[in-house]
Amino acid sequence: MNRLDKIKSKQAIIGIVGLGYVGLPLACAFCQQNIHVVGFDIDQEKINTIEKNQSYIKHIGDDAIKEMRADGLFNVTTDFAKIADVDVIIICVPTPLSKHREPDLGPVLNTGRSIAPHLQKGQLVVLESSTYPGTTDSELAGVLEQSGLKKDEDFYLAYSPEREDPGNENFSTSTIPKIVGADTPLSRDLVAAVYEGVISQIVPVASSRTAEAIKLTENVFRSVNIAMVNELKVIFDAMDIDVWDVIDGAATKPFGFMPFYPGPGLGGHCIPIDPFYLTYKAREYDVPTRFIELAGEINTKMPQLVVAKTGQALSLVSEKALNGSKVLIIGMAYKKNVDDMRESPSLVLTELLEAEGAKVSYHDPYVTVIPPTRQHDDLAGRESLELTPETISQADAVLISTNHDGLDYQMMADNATLIIDTRNAMKDFPGKATVVKA
């Protein structure tokens, strides 16, 4: 049986490298279709947790892990020698930015170096990590070819961007249309067949570079539009106009307008990062990216604006300075109803507030302890406070950074002195608190 037939008949073994917010849901999707998966990760703690039939991601329950393991469909390891035992290798590792906001392909290329000694003839390697055009067919291919095998002759290579949206109840891994791009018809057929077994709609495109560009375009689109409404928020605030009312009104137009909403900054792994991957690559071609860079500049400045607004509000409402004031941040995750801390603006807000002398605490039902992060390790280990009338009343300012569902916003309105609302969460909850939108 050739490789394509093996994949189509669901007899191929899928190897997934990186068992985070992309890799673990993808493993679940394959196992739900009775396809065997071997999960690889360099984090031994993740491996140990899965082997205990436990999950470390909120929207994937322990029962799902237990079922996958009980059926013998899902095995996990840190041993990359077992790459030799799989038919398809899907790479789902982070692609962060350096401290100079330049792409850091270290996780992708180091993964390639771990795979290369064990790469077998006929295997298909698929990159899912967000990156700039050319990463797959040039940089990753070059690392994999250190095995002595040749791309498109001895092994096959493709790019299929992840489109995960943690917390989205309308779409899951299996229902989000899947872009697949490769540079030869056979590689494209192979990667399409892999995902056809688990995802409802497959969208083949001309090349890996096209697929990489599609992923960046999706997130540049969001970044630019969010930057626009963030800038409008500042403009309309100066005019004493509520930007949320403006957006709600504009959204009644049935064509030509798509609502985006302001916030305290951008979070998640894609939107704050992907545009900078494109601007970096564009410099190689001497092409300016002023529009994209301006959007990034606006979005990254939002936490500073929120902190400034908090200081102004404290002075006007309580005649207090930010220095020495107690600020309770509501929500540490980057978006509501998830436990995902990647690039969360709440981390930046915490550091900026403390730099001004504020005493900062937080509440988040999904992030009970702040985990280690690449840029904010000094905050790791801090624990969420219980949300009670006492904790609310003791704060000089309550800053809503993430508007999780299920929180008692009325209790906040009734017990807080000052609420800084970056998410329009308090619109339906009148109370004694002074609410300042930021």
**pLDDT confidence bin for 267, thresholds 50/70/90:** confident
CATH number listed for the domain at residues 3-206: 3.40.50.720
Domains 3-206 and 263-437 share a fold: yes
The mean pLDDT value of the chain amounts to 95
**Dist. CA 396–CA 419, nearest whole Å:** 9
What is the reported pLDDT for 238? 95
**pLDDT confidence bin for 67, thresholds 50/70/90:** very high
What is the reported pLDDT for 404? 96
Using one digit for the tens of pLDDT, what is the confidence trace for 388-412?
999 999 999 999 999 999 999 999 9
What is the reported pLDDT for 273? 83
Question: Residue 92 catalytic?
Answer: no
- Whether residue 71 is predicted with pLDDT greater than 90 in this model: the reply is no
What is the reported pLDDT for 257? 97
Q: Of these residues, 28, 31, 92, 270, which one is catalytic?
A: 270
Using one digit for the tens of pLDDT, what is the confidence trace for 299-336?
999 999 999 999 999 999 999 999 999 999 999 999 99
Using one digit for the tens of pLDDT, what is the confidence trace for 135-191?
999 999 999 999 999 999 999 999 999 998 877 778 888 999 999 999 999 999 999
Using one digit for the tens of pLDDT, what is the confidence trace for 181-196?
999 999 999 999 999 9
What is the reported pLDDT for 185? 97
Tell me the pTM.
0.91
Q: CATH number for the 263-437 domain, one of 3.40.30.10, 3.40.50.1950, 3.40.50.10610, 3.40.50.720?
A: 3.40.50.720
Domain extents in the chain: 3-206, 263-437
**pLDDT confidence bin for 58, thresholds 50/70/90:** confident
**Least confident interval from 130-134, 206-210, 266-270:** 266-270
Across the range 211-224, mean pLDDT stands at 95
